Structure formats: structure tokens, C-alpha cells
């Protein structure tokens, strides 16, 4: 899934150690530019993904590709938006490398619609002026 918004905050990194070795987790927040703007927080795992966010400039538009994940704990549900990729917004809805190639004719090239046929009028001597 993709979402576009303005990068407003980079969350602090959290580091730890597991049986597999050291890990790092971070996050960031964007604000959508809809009629009613929403703030959306994303999480990142790994040095390479944190480097993507640290390379971005604050208050610039970005496109975030993410995967929503939910889990249950003590009969409560928690949702996490895991960022897969974040790139600067270039003016199109999705980055060129992630957008599927679709051949669409431009709107100006579409053939104009034919005018609608006029209603048949009732004879002039009819008492009823309704067309049906």
C-alpha cells in the first residue's frame, strides 16, 4: 500500500540484542494533505531502512510504501504500519519504479460523446401533454 504526505517527525531509534544478534527499530510520522489531514506513524526495522528516512528533509512530501500488520494481546488488537520504502514525492501518485505500467489514453484523446436523441413530442391535438 502507498500513502503520500509531508514528513513531520522522525522518531528516536531503539536498539536491542536478541538471540539472532543486534537489532535497531525506528519510525517517523507523516501528515496527509487531504481535506481533513491525518497524522500517520510508521515503524522501520534495520539500519538500511532507517538510513532511507534519515536521508530525507523534514517538511517535504514523501511517498511511503507500507504493510499493515495487526496482532491480538489480552483480547485487544494492535496495528503496526511497517514501512517498506519511503521516497521523496515527485509529483505522481506513486514512484515510477513501483507503479505498474498501464496504457491509458489521455482524457483529451477520448472521443466526444454523441448528443442525446431529442424526446418525441406528442401530437398537438392530444389532451395529454405528457410524453408517455
pLDDT score recorded for residue 108: 46
Average pLDDT value over all residues in the chain: 79
Query: What confidence category does residue 101 fall into, taking pLDDT thresholds of 50, 70 and 90?
Result: very low
Q: Domains of the chain by range and CATH?
A: 2-91 (2.40.50.140)
Q: Is the pLDDT of residue 25 over 90?
A: yes
The pTM of this model reads 0.64
Q: Is the pLDDT of residue 69 over 70?
A: yes
**Greater pLDDT, 90 or 129:** 90
CB distance 47 to 55 below 8 Å: no
Tell me the β-bridge partners of 45: 25
d(CA 92, CA 81): 22
User: Measured between alpha carbons, how far is residue 50 from residues 9, 10, 68, 85, 91 in Å?
Assistant: 13, 10, 18, 10, 24
DSSP, collapsed to helix, strand or coil, labels residue 35 as: coil
Amino acid at each position: 500500500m502507498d500513502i503520500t504526505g509531508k514528513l513531520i517527525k522522525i522518531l528516536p531509534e531503539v536498539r536491542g540484542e536478541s538471540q539472532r544478534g543486534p537489532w535497531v527499530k525506528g519510525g517517523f510520522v507523516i501528515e496527509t494533505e487531504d481535506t481533513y489531514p491525518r497524522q500517520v506513524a510508521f515503524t522501520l526495522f534495520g539500519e538500511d531502512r532507517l538510513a532511507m528516512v534519515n536521508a530525507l528533509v523534514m517538511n517535504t512530501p514523501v511517498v511511503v510504501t507500507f504493510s499493515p500488520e495487526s496482532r491480538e494481546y489480552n483480547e485487544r488488537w494492535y496495528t503496526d504500519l511497517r514501512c517498506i520504502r519511503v521516497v521523496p514525492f515527485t509529483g505522481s501518485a506513486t514512484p515510477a519504479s513501483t507503479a505498474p505500467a498501464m496504457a491509458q489514453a489521455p482524457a483529451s484523446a477520448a472521443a466526444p460523446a454523441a448528443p442525446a436523441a431529442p424526446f418525441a413530442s406528442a401530437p398537438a391535438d392530444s389532451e395529454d401533454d405528457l410524453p408517455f
